[in-house]
Structure 1
Amino acid sequence: MTGSVAARTAKGLAARKDVPLDALMLMPQDGDRLDPVEVLAAQDDARVPELVPIRYGRMLASPFAFFRGAASVMAADLAVSPCSGLTCQLSGDAHIGNFGVFASPERRLVFDLNDFDETLPGPWEWDVKRLAASLAVAGRQIGLGRKARENVVRAAAGRYRSAMARFAEQGDLEVWYTHAAAEDVKILLKAHADKAKQHRFAREQAKARARDSLQAYRKLTSVVGGRRRITADPPLLVPVGDLLPDTDREDLEFLIQDLLASYATTLSPDRRHLLSGFRFVDMARKVVGVGSVGTRCWIVLLHGRDENDPLLLQVKEASRSVLADHLPGRPRAHHRSEGERVVAGQRLMQAVGDIFLGWETAEGIDGLTRDFYVRQLRDWKGSASVETMDEAGLRLYGGLCGWTLARAHARTGDRIAMAAYLDGGKAFDVALAEFAESYADRNEQDYRLLAQAARTGRISVQSGL
């Protein structure tokens, strides 16, 4: 960001004068918003038809599951809410389920955002509101009362605010190098959590370290006819040979190898060299997540030195961001493909990243050209189980997410202006807690509308998958 510290501070203060902190609690009225079922259904045409009912089945599991899958609904609501005018790179879907631990290239566990399907530059408060609302919705799911939920959200908002103030005082390189290692989380827990929570985190660390390519390899593959293959588990996991039974396997392997070679050009030369040592073995379509169900997602099995040296890549369709139609001024695209958009956003926001993160545009099995991004399927990945948390645990976790989000925003936005905007005591924390409760009410209302749509046959639902 250019300009003197004084000028950037003045920019933030002017923004707060135009949009006071308490304006951030305001919600769009029912008459000012789109039908949430229509918003969700508008995404169906671009998805695999037989998988769309699974998406709705997963969303109807609970109001929190609905919230996870309804990023498009909230984007439309945020578009008609007060906006500070200060921008940064957004995750676009910064709910608490999209934070977690994974391996750095140096083989250390780090904590960060881990989902960037919707990433675009936009108003910083959209991400913070999505995080705050997710904490309120999750708090209801685990049975917290209103006062406890407010405490959780205010703690997360306060941590975001104080972190931004700290980042505003730091130099650009210091901000860029800052990250949350698992060891830092341990220190936080020792200071603020009881022994049970510390032991639970240690167990989660061990589980995350076990979630690697070898573990996924053993779980997802088997030997068929003397050759290692991805094991079919339809409709959630379907090998490409089952989807295209009449296609010559050798022709298919040549096609996949060409695609991998093209994707490799988006990697740095050293990582391209590493990937070149692996050979294609098998590929399957996989159903992932909640909101992503129905988008095209593949896992690709590769072998390096031998069968005991596997690499599993996830090749996931990159659709247009749900934010794109709602951002102020409708900014023009700066990337050649949606896959490149996702990868560029992830590289900007994450402190460290997957060494195999890249993108590709390819023709699908239906003959249509689509954008994809590629990453490792599992590399010490893990996330917290909201269902097992109490108030203290959710407050700690929400605070960690708030700090992490502030760090990501400080890397890409004017942290000095944002800190000046937020420097109004606890008014920001109070406003976010009020907004989060109101949005949790709205989320439950929308969840009931989707359930009604299922009962009346407006949407098709497949549960239990």
Structure 2
Amino acid sequence: MSTAERVTSRDERIARGRAARAEIRRRDHGEWEPAADRADPIELLERQGRDRIAELLPLRYERMSASPFTFFRGSAAVMAADLARTPVSGERVQLCGDAHLANFGGFGAPDRTIVFDLNDFDETLPGPWEWDVKRLAASIVLAARDRGFDSDEQAAAVHAAVGAYRRAIRDFAGQSHLDVWYARLNADSVIEEWRSRVPRAQMRTFERNVEKARSKTSMKAVARLTERVDGELRIAADPPLIVPIEDELPEGAGTGPEIEQLVRGILSGYAASLTGATRRLLERYHYVHAARKVVGVGSVGTRAWIALLIGDDERDPLFLQLKEANASVVEPFAGASRFNRHGRRVVEGQWLMQAASDICLGWVSVDDPDGNRRDFYVRQLWDWKRSADLERIVPAGLSAYGQMCGWTLARAHARSGDALAIGAYLGGGDAFERAIARFAATYSDQTERDHAALVAHLAAPVRQ
């Protein structure tokens, strides 16, 4: 290919992005009105629960009913159905699928620096880039309302986050593919950049979180989650949040010995998805104990275990999380995954979107005690992981945090999508930011109505 042809190709992609504005104006993204035939959100949630552990579903609904924001965190399926009816420009990327504020955070990269990135990929799938942006924006408004921020403060935080996304995607459009691939947000660079732009108290909170993250290791997990039984380490029971593997589980979930066999099968089988070097590392550890552990909000009820492995002695522990992967909630609207196993879908999506990933990240498919084929992905339980304290964040802090999330989301999208076309569509002005701020406010109103419907549903007397 000649230089002239390459330049023409770039020009054509830019032209494609600009031409899309004639079909879908940027202000069109600000519109939201529930469809007349909108699916009932409670029915969608109950449908999700049919293949989950029944005894944990009340806990899921309890967590979701705490506030509109927690409802939002657990209702990615509801928003996916709603987003499918919103306008899109035509460009597709690898979606996170659940890009709300609490699914960003810090963790340890393999080079042992703390990086800021997306950290949840259960719903990842290729789809329209706007869907991730709109979910992030709505989560910002709901988090702001949780803190009692006024409408101007809510809009300012959304404007800051979406503006950061727009500017970043345009910057990445001018970089080489390698530069995009190497780009990442380190905790030290965040501290340096924001020290003079964020209230001092908020900055101190961020710095303390970074220090706390460095202590969140497998050794810390041993101290927090285990006890000694007959002289040996065992994961301590804290039902229903933590249930040791030897305890009999509810009907339909198998008994302790059956589940332990399943866990051992996951650990031995998942090694095939790792690099040769990481397989050698895992061979230095042996299995000690496991337990079922409830995680998150939307994931409550899915099959998830933690497993304790030990190296030469107890001073060298490794805690792994084994989490079930089901079909993405985005799939009915964006198309099926090219991977026939959802554990692999999650891991491949994470590798594609993250600047640096856990060296222990892998996947496997195994048969459960009832003979059902189930997909899992595996990662370290604690590896310097830390999330923002959204319950104490101030308006300036939320705007700064939103900008970090917006930049990170743009970087993740630029790795798989056409940053040139998306950047050309967005343009140099703030028309898109203003539109998304309107959408986020209106959709947050809808989420508050959905949350109220769940609270009313849970309060209603049980029909015999």
| Coarse TM-score class (shorter-chain normalised) | over 0.9
1:458 CA displacement:
6.4
Q: Note if 1:418 corresponds to 2:425.
A: no
1:116-155 correspondence runs (5 A): 116-155=121-160
What is the DSSP-based 3-state SS (H/G/I as helix, E as strand, rest coil) of the residue aligned with 2:117? strand
Relative to structure 1, the CA distance from residue 191 to residue 256 in structure 2 (aligned partners, 3 Å threshold; closer, same or farther) is same
Aligned residue in 1 for 2:105: 100
User: Which of 298, 304, 308 is matched with 2:311 structurally?
Assistant: 304
Instruction: Report if aligned partners of 1:28, 1:77 keep a CA contact under 8 Å in 2.
Output: no
Q: Tell me the alpha carbon deviations over residues 122-160 of structure 1, each in whole angstroms, 9 at most, x when there is no partner.
A: 000000000000000111110011011111100111110
CA distance in 1, matches of 2:256, 2:193: 55
Aligned residue in 1 for 2:374: 370
Aligned residue in 1 for 2:439: 435
The answer for unaligned runs of 5 or more in structure 2 is 1-5
Instruction: Report if aligned partners of 2:260, 2:290 keep a CA contact under 8 Å in 1.
Output: no
1:247 CA displacement:
6.9
CA distance in 1, matches of 2:350, 2:285: 25
Relative to structure 1, the CA distance from residue 215 to residue 89 in structure 2 (aligned partners, 3 Å threshold; closer, same or farther) is same
Q: Tell me the alpha carbon deviations over residues 316-359 of structure 1, each in whole angstroms, 9 at most, x when there is no partner.
A: 000110001112xx3x4311300000000000000000000000
1:226 CA displacement:
1.5
Q: Note if 1:280 corresponds to 2:287.
A: yes
CA distance in 2, matches of 1:354, 1:89: 19
CA distance in 1, matches of 2:212, 2:195: 20
Relative to structure 1, the CA distance from residue 455 to residue 158 in structure 2 (aligned partners, 3 Å threshold; closer, same or farther) is same
Q: Note if 1:291 corresponds to 2:298.
A: yes
1:252-401 correspondence runs (5 A): 256-327=263-334, 330=335, 332-401=336-405
Aligned residue in 1 for 2:221: 216
Q: Tell me the alpha carbon deviations over residues 190-220 of structure 1, each in whole angstroms, 9 at most, x when there is no partner.
A: 2311322221111111111111101111111
Relative to structure 1, the CA distance from residue 449 to residue 256 in structure 2 (aligned partners, 3 Å threshold; closer, same or farther) is closer
What is the DSSP-based 3-state SS (H/G/I as helix, E as strand, rest coil) of the residue aligned with 2:387? coil
What is the DSSP-based 3-state SS (H/G/I as helix, E as strand, rest coil) of the residue aligned with 1:46? coil
User: Which of 26, 29, 33 is matched with 1:21 structurally?
Assistant: 26
What is the DSSP-based 3-state SS (H/G/I as helix, E as strand, rest coil) of the residue aligned with 2:247? helix
The answer for unaligned runs of 5 or more in structure 1 is 460-465
Aligned residue in 2 for 1:87: 92
Matched to 1:310, the amino acid is P
Matched to 1:129, the amino acid is K
CA distance in 2, matches of 1:365, 1:215: 32
Instruction: Report the TM-score when normalising by structure 1.
Output: 0.95
Matched to 2:356, the amino acid is V
What is the DSSP-based 3-state SS (H/G/I as helix, E as strand, rest coil) of the residue aligned with 2:333? coil
Q: Note if 1:115 corresponds to 2:120.
A: yes
Greater mean alpha carbon deviation, residues 97-106 or residues 359-368: 359-368
CA distance in 1, matches of 2:255, 2:9: 62
CA distance in 1, matches of 2:126, 2:120: 15
Instruction: Report if aligned partners of 1:253, 1:280 keep a CA contact under 8 Å in 2.
Output: no
CA distance in 2, matches of 1:254, 1:368: 14
Q: Note if 1:68 corresponds to 2:73.
A: yes
User: Which of 443, 449, 456 is matched with 1:452 structurally?
Assistant: 456
What is the DSSP-based 3-state SS (H/G/I as helix, E as strand, rest coil) of the residue aligned with 2:273? coil
Aligned residue in 2 for 1:195: 200
Q: Note if 1:7 corresponds to 2:12.
A: yes
Q: Note if 1:174 corresponds to 2:201.
A: no
Aligned residue in 2 for 1:233: 238
1:189 CA displacement:
1.6
Relative to structure 1, the CA distance from residue 252 to residue 195 in structure 2 (aligned partners, 3 Å threshold; closer, same or farther) is closer
1:84 CA displacement:
1.1
Matched to 2:14, the amino acid is T
Segments of 4+ moved more than 3 angstroms? 244-249, 251-259
* Alpha-carbon RMSD: 1.8
CA distance in 2, matches of 1:339, 1:259: 11
How many residues align structurally? 454
Relative to structure 1, the CA distance from residue 74 to residue 374 in structure 2 (aligned partners, 3 Å threshold; closer, same or farther) is same
CA distance in 2, matches of 1:283, 1:200: 34
What is the DSSP-based 3-state SS (H/G/I as helix, E as strand, rest coil) of the residue aligned with 1:229? strand
Instruction: Report if aligned partners of 1:28, 1:81 keep a CA contact under 8 Å in 2.
Output: no
